[in-house]
Each structure stands twice: as C-alpha cells, then as structure tokens.
Structure 1
Amino acid sequence: MLKKLLLSTGLMSVLIPAAAFAEDATPVQLQGAVDAVWVMLAAILVIFMQAGFALLEAGSTRMKNAGHVAGKTILTFGICAIAFWAIGFGLAFGDGNGFIGMTGFFVDGTETQAAAAFGALSFSDVPIGIKFLFQLAFAGVSLAIAFGGFAERAKLSVYFIFSVLYVIVIYPIVAHWVWGGGWLAGHGKQDFAGSTVVHLQGATAALVATLMLKPRIGKYNKDKTPNLIPGHNQVLSVLGVIILWIGWFGFNPGSTLSAMGDGFFGYIAMTTNLAAAAGGVAAIIVAWMYFGKADIPSMLNGVLAALVAITASCAFVTVRDAIIIGVVAGVITFFTAQWFEKAGIDDPIYAFSVHGIAGIWGTLANGIFATPELVEKVGVGKPGLLYGGGFEQLGVQAMGVFSAFFFVLVLSWIILSILKATIGLRVTEEEEIIGLDLSEHGTYGYPEQMKKAAQGGTVNA
C-alpha cells in the first residue's frame, strides 16, 4: 500500500506541472516543446546507430579484430563530437558564403549565438543545442561509414588523425553546400536526410582508404582471384542491421525537425521502411539466383543500401516509387559488390557499394521520381523526370553527386597520402596476422576462443 501511495504521489508530481504547462502554454510554445522533444528523440536514435555499426562491422570481420572494430566506434565518435562542436558545426551551418560557413564555432548552446550565427537553421524553433546534437549524430554516421574502408588493417593512430580532419575539413564543407545555404542549395539540390551529404561522403573516403591500404593478407591469390574471408558472427551482423534500421526512423523522419502539423514525419517513416524491406527481399532473391544459395550478408547489404538510397528521396516520392528505389538499390549494390571484389578492391564492409553506389542512386532518383505535390510541400527543387519536371532536377542531382564525390576523393587522398608518408597507414604484416585486438590493444575481444585458436595454430581465424 505504501509503495502504491508513493508511486501515485510521484506520478502526480510529474503530471500536474506538465498538465498546467499544457493548459497555460500558447500554441507556439506547445509546438516548440513537442518539436524539441521529437528532434531530441531522433538525435538519440541516430546516435544509437553507432551501436548498429559496431555490431555489423564486428560481426562482418574476423574474430581476432572484433574488439578493435567495435571499440574504435566509441573512440571515433568521441573525437567527432569534440571536433564538430569546436569547428565542424560552424563550417557546415554557420553564416558565410556559398562554399563554407564562417560563424558559430565552439557552440555554446545559447539562442544569442544561434540568432547571430546559424541563419540556415532558423526555419526551426528547436533549441540550438538539440539542433547541434542532431547534426552531430549525422556527422558521426558519415565518419563511421568512412572507417569501414580501414577495417582490419589500419593503424589506430590513423583513426585519431583522420577523424579530426574528416570532421573539420571534409564533411562540413559538403554539408554547407547542401544544407547550410551553400551553392548546391541555391540550385535546389534535393537531399532530404543525406544520401549525398552523409553516405556518399563517408563511402568515398572509405573507397580512397581501401585503395591506399590495399587488400588484406590472404584476400587474393597470385592469379588475382579473390578468397572469401567471412565475418566471424552473422548473428551480430543481423542485430547490427536491425539497430540501424530502427535508427533510420530518427535519421529520415527526424530531418523534418518537427512533429506537429499534418504528421509528415509519419509519411517519411513509411517510405523509409518500405524501401528497406524491398531492398532486403530483392537482394536475397538476386543472391539466391547468383550463388544458388540465399546469402544472408547480401540480404543485409540490400536492406542498408535501400535505406541509404531512400534517405535523399523519402520526403519527395510516392510510396510505390519508394519501393522501386529500394529494389533497385538492393540489386545494384549486390552486383557492384561482386564487381569490386573481382576487380581487386578489398572493401571488407562493402562500404562503397552499400553507401556510395546506393547513395548515388538515391540522390539521382529524386531527379526521376520527385512529385510536384511533395516538392511543393518540402519547398526544395523541382519535380523529377517522370512527373513533368524534365531533366533539370536530374541534372542538379547529378551535379551534386559529382561535386561531392570529387571533393571528398581529392581531400581524402591528400590527407591519407600525407599520413602514409609520415606515420604510415597500415599495421605490419605480423600485427595484421595476429590481429588488431592484440597488436593495438593488448587483449583479444574473445580471449578464451582466441587462446584456443592460437594453441591450435589457427590464430588467423
């Protein structure tokens, strides 16, 4: 009885002030409060995607590197948070010119700074601290994608340096072009939640790293034919994709920065979910036809590729077209992954196929499928080719893809070339063979299993 009384008293102490606020608040205040809570929740969902990346990447790599692959996710997000707070957020969203933001560095969370420095974000009344956290989550996802191309062979020191430079030299520049009032925004480029800004940028950096680091030991035979290096735990990979799928409901619907009005964020959630489902089903069917077996990693990549593709177009296309976009993403990602592997490009996490190729397709899809009604609702760009808009929007989308890809390609190559010439990019052959868990951190992620493997002479597991 006492517990029930205390519980009731506690609930009433929370609910009565909230009810009083709701009764006394103006509609504008109420909308601001609801929007702030919604965007904060969306930011948490997107940050939680880091857990998805940790599980997906750890499960998709070998046991001897599992602790390292998972642990560097925490390290790099921590570095990203500090660098984005100090410099990156201002470069991306601060007032400046068509190329770069020049105000709002060292975010202090005050609305005084927000009013003076962040005109590009003034369309929303959500507090600047929450806006910062939401955009930080996106930068962290892009960085996590980039590091997919470093997996199982890069030095830990490279993660430190590249994280800082990516967040203050690469990512915020393209973000400013598209979302910060830059020159691509002026042309009406449609990228609602970041197929280009987040995914293509990260994937391009991953591609450069993959090419410069060269294949893992044992990946290719002398005749250049590839060997399968399977991940050590498909269950972890599946769980990682489920977490990423859930996190995407913060990624895409959260980009409305509002939960009020007609509930448009619910429509965006629907197109996002259906595209993902279609991509996964399409990919496993294609893999079954190609391999003669229903390949689980291919299905997982199909889901992620569809999510990447629909990220640009989720607010601009019909439900039917969202499913088409998802199917195409799942299929092209499967075949490009096979092609890259046969071409001698060892991309352990398939970062460029999943996030790069699908990001390009998703961005271009706006120029094909964007409807007049939804374009008017969002207020960016023009309708696509199939809805009476001609080739104009498709041309803008292609220009954005090329510009972002070329910019990130060049900057990543310059940064990694300097690192290669100074501290080196890749661990030694001995360190790679024993695994980065032991060579970089002094202990295995699976100490008991790896001890048994070492005793049996199979430490390369």
Structure 2
Amino acid sequence: MEDIVQIKYALDTFYFLVCAVLVMWMACGFAMLEAGLVRTKSTTEILAKNIALFAIASVMYLLVGYYIMYSSDGAVFPSLGFLIGGENSVADAMTGADDAPYYSNRADFFFQIVFAGACMSIVSGAVAERMRLWAFLAFAVVMTGFIYPIQGAWSWGGGWLDGIGYSDYAGSGIVHMAGAAAALAGVILLGARQGKYGPNGQINAIPGSNLALSTLGIFILWMGWFGFNGGSELKISDIDSANNVAQVMVNTNLAAAGGLIAALITSRILFGKTDLTMVLNGALAGLVSITADPLSPSALSAMLIGAVGGVIVVFSVLALDRLKLDDPAGAISAHGSAGIWGVLAVPLTNADASFGSQLLGVIAIFGWVFLASLVVWGILKAVMGIRITAEEEYVGVDLVECGMEAYPEFTAGKK
C-alpha cells in the first residue's frame, strides 16, 4: 500500500510541476504578443518588463504572497506571514484521510507563482509605450506580493468567497479579470499615447511592429493554457482525475478555437477586412472565458462559451477606444471583459454554481484590485512619476528607459 501511495504522490507531483512549467512558458507568450503589438521603439522595454516581472513575482510570492493567499482562515484581510512552510512526509501521505496530501507543497508553490506572474503580465501590455519602467516594476512588487494574493485568499485560499460558493476553476476572475482591473486603473491615471486620439474624437490606429511575433505569442499562450487549466485539476493519478484532465484540455482547445473564429467573423462583418489583432485577441478571449470552468461544459458548450468571448472582445476593444482608454495590447478586453463573461457563464453548465455568488465574486475581486491598484498607481505617480514626457515618448521608451533598441538598424533616424 505504501508503494502505491508513493507512486501516486510522485506522479501527481510530477504532473503538477510539468503544468507549472507550461504556465511559466506563457510568460514568453505574453512577451512575444506584446512585443509585436508595440512599435519598434518600445520593444526592448516591454521585453524587459515581462522578464523582470516574473522574477519579481517569484521573489514576492516566496516572501509573503504564498502565505497570504493560503493562510486566510476565512478572513477578508488575511494575516501576514513569510516563506513556504514545511514539506509533506510519507507519514502525511499515508494517513488515509480524504485531505491527505497527494503532491508536494513545493510543487503547489511553484504552480501558484506562475499564476501570479501571469496576472501581472496582463498589466504590462495595457500600459505599454508611455510608462516609466521602474514605476511599473514597483507596482509589480505590490501587485504580486499583496493585491493579488489577498483576493486569491478569498476564494482559492478558503476565504469568504469560497464560503458563499464562488466558483473559479483556474482563474477567469482571480487571475485574468484581476490583472485587467489593475491594468485599467493604470491606464486611467496614465493617459493615452501621444497621437492616439484626435481633438475631434477621432481614433488613430497605432500599428504594432511585428504581427508575426504576436501570432507566435498567441500560439505559446494557447499551448501554455493546457497547463494553466489542466494543472488546476491538481492530480491525474486516478481514473476520474485523468478523465477530468482530458475533458479540461479538450474544452480549453475548443474554447480558443471558438473565440478565434467568432472574432474572425465579427471583425470581417464590422470592418470589411480580417483584422489579425482582433483574431489573436479572440483566441485569447476564448481561453480566458473557459478558464472559470473548463470541466463542466460539453465540448460543444465550451466552444460556444469561447465564441461569445471572441465576440465580446471585439466590441470591448472598440468601446474602450471610444472612451479614450488606450490599451495597445487589448489586454483589458481580452482578460477583463472576457474574464467577467467566463465567471458569469459558470452556472450555465455547472449546477453547483449560482449566478448570485458569481456576480458577487466579480464585484468583489474587480472592486478590490481596481481600487487598491488605483491607490498604488496614484502614490507612484506622486512620488516618482509613472509617465515619460512627450519628448521621451517621441524618442521611445527603449532608449529612454533601457538605453538600447531591439531593432537599431530599422529605427535609426526614424521615430
């Protein structure tokens, strides 16, 4: 019996770690997606942001974030604590209790780190091309160490949202909508890029520099999402769990496909052309939409949930532009608007979830993250400034913040 328990423990731990690596690979996907959607003079800086924020998330989650998120005891504001804690032993796994550990605590810690990093990556694209690098990194410290873990403790940490029945399997609200809420607060205080909006209400397109990179980024994110959602089953060593993992991965893929096709058709109808940026964000919106519950729906239902997300993201991008909220990557729409839809769609296929609990979860998570982020962004704006000058923006954040350019042979003398 002990041998069987140890084999299952090792298998579930290994599966968990592999899924965590897939989610960590999504950091590359975000970096490529965003690097392609900004101008050449902003590429180095956005790459620096994406790799630095993952390192910051790793350190802050070790120091305080993990303890805050998983030691809440139902509190609204969980107690502070430090580091990871102890590891499981053979005796722990052999207790025979229903709650006996079936994977390493370190595997869980690593899996949760990459979710925190993904949440912060969403902010990066929305504030691109005009934010000071060190202001962004300072915000990343607070976001990954405190703002994200506190609301995560309300649900995944066994807090009050979990107590009222809020359901969010892999984080449509907890990760994606939370990242979008933080991004929205930053965009409001930051303002739009120079030339994005005209004095008479016109909206001027600012094309990205490399849509090949952005497409690669979506493929990487699509692949990483199998770890994002599949790993959230938490185990694979029994028949039911293995079947669940297979269902989750099938639904994740079909939701992405549904979102992409819906955005493809919607953009064609609206613009008379096939807008690749909308198509890419359609796939992303489909993935975000199914993340709140990739297990309960049938494959067809998952495709339709993703398709609704794909339509939503197109209209959301257009609506934010009309409000003069400049989001170069469409992150607020793909992760925020689609994230809200994903959370509210859970009761459509999951009889254990209620619309009231889901709506309250949306309001609580979005409200907390937005208001807390607004305060932090405001403090950073007053203390160190969050936006580069108009002259610096003309030169480009690459040279201003990093002293180098990603494409020097193409940008020399051309701004």
- What TM-score bracket applies, with the shorter chain setting the length? over 0.9
1:121-132 map, 5 Å: 124-132=101-109
Q: 2:88 aligns with which of 111, 119, 125?
A: 111
In 1, distance between residues paired with 2:72 and 2:127?
A: 34
Aligned equivalents of 2:227, 2:213: Cα separation in 1: 22
Q: Deviations over 1:245-291 (max 9, x none)?
A: 00000000101111122211111001110010010011011101111
**Structure 1 alignment gaps of length 5 or more:** 1-23, 116-120, 373-381, 384-392
Residues 365-385 of structure 1 deviation map (CA, whole Å, 9 limit, x = unaligned): 002221x4xxxxxxxxx15xx
Match of 2:195 among 196, 214, 218: 218
Check the 8 A contact 2:74/2:154 in 1, yes or no: no
Matched, 1:446 2:412: no
Partner of 2:56: 79
Partners of 1:93 and 1:180 within 8 A in 2: yes
Listed one character per residue, the Cα deviations across residues 50-84 of structure 1 (whole Å, up to 9, x for unaligned) are 00000000000000001111121111111111011
- Aligned counterparts, 1:53-452, within 5 A: 53-102=30-79, 105-107=82-84, 110-111=87-88, 124-262=101-239, 263=242, 264-370=244-350, 372=351, 382-383=352-353, 393-451=354-412
* CA deviation after TM superposition for structure 1 residue 122, in Å: 5.6
* C-alpha deviation, 1:124, in angstroms: 4.2
Q: Distance in 2 between matches of 1:203 and 1:123?
A: 36
Residues 265-323 of structure 1: per-residue CA shift (max 9 Å, x gap): 11100111001001001101110111111111111000000100100010222222111
| Deviations 1:129-164, CA, capped at 9 Å, x for gaps | 111000000000001112222211110111221011
Counterparts of 1:98 and 1:196, CA distance in 2:
19
Which of 1 and 2 has higher RCO (CA within 8 Å, sep 6+)?
2
Q: Partners in 2 of 1:412 and 1:253 — Cα distance?
A: 30
Say if 2:399 and 2:405, in contact at 8 Å, map to a contact too: yes
Cα deviation for residue 226 of structure 1 reads: 0.8
After TM superposition, the runs of 4+ consecutive aligned structure 1 residues lying more than 4 A away are 121-124
2:143 and 2:284 mapped to 1: Cα distance?
23
Inter-partner Cα distance in structure 1 for 2:34 and 2:61: 24
Give 1:188 shift. 1.3
Matched residue count: 405
> What is the CA-CA distance between 1:99 and the residue it aligns to?
1.9
> Which structure 2 residues correspond to residues 8-87 of structure 1 after superposition, within 5 A?
26-87=3-64
CA distance in 1, matches of 2:74, 2:161: 12
SS in 1 for 2:291: helix
Aligned residue for 1:303, secondary structure, equals: helix
Match of 2:95 in 1: none
Q: Structure 1: which amino acid aligns with 2:83? A: F
1:201 Cα offset (Å): 0.4
Aligned equivalents of 1:421, 1:171: Cα separation in 2: 23
| Residue identity in the other structure for 2:388 | V
Alpha carbons 2:127, 2:187 under 8 Å: kept? yes
CA separation in 2, counterparts of 1:422 and 1:239? 38
Amino acid at match of 1:205: A
Q: Distance in 2 between matches of 1:123 and 1:395?
A: 32
Structure 2 CA distance for aligned equivalents of residues 411 and 164 of structure 1: 13
5+ residue gaps, structure 2: 93-97
Whether contact under 8 Å (1:96, 1:103) holds in the other structure is no
**Partner SS, residue 283 of structure 2:** helix
Q: CA deviation at 1:110?
A: 3.0
Task: Please give the per-residue CA displacement for 1:143-193, whole angstroms capped at 9, x wherever unaligned.
Answer: 111222221111011122101111122100111011000001011111000
Equivalents in 1 of 2:62, 2:235: separation in Å?
23
Report the alpha carbon displacement of residue 336 of structure 1 after superposing the two structures with TM. Answer: 1.1
Q: Which has the larger radius of gyration?
A: 1
Tell me if the contact between 1:95 and 1:103 (Cα under 8 Å) persists in the aligned partners. Answer: no
> Structure 1 pair 124/252, CA: closer, same or farther in 2 (3 Å)?
farther
Q: Distance in 2 between matches of 1:123 and 1:224?
A: 60
Is the Cα–Cα contact under 8 Å of residues 124 and 257 in structure 1 kept in the other structure? Answer: no
Taking structure 1 as reference, are residues 215 and 40 closer, same or farther at Cα in structure 2, changes over 3 Å only? Answer: same
The C-alpha deviation readout for 1:420-459, integer Å capped at 9, x for no partner, is 11111101111111111111111111111111xx1xxx31
| Fraction of identical pairs, as percent | 40
* 8 A Cα contact 1:101 1:180, kept in partner: no
Cα deviation 1:114-139 (Å, max 9, x = unaligned) = x8xxxxx9664211111100000000
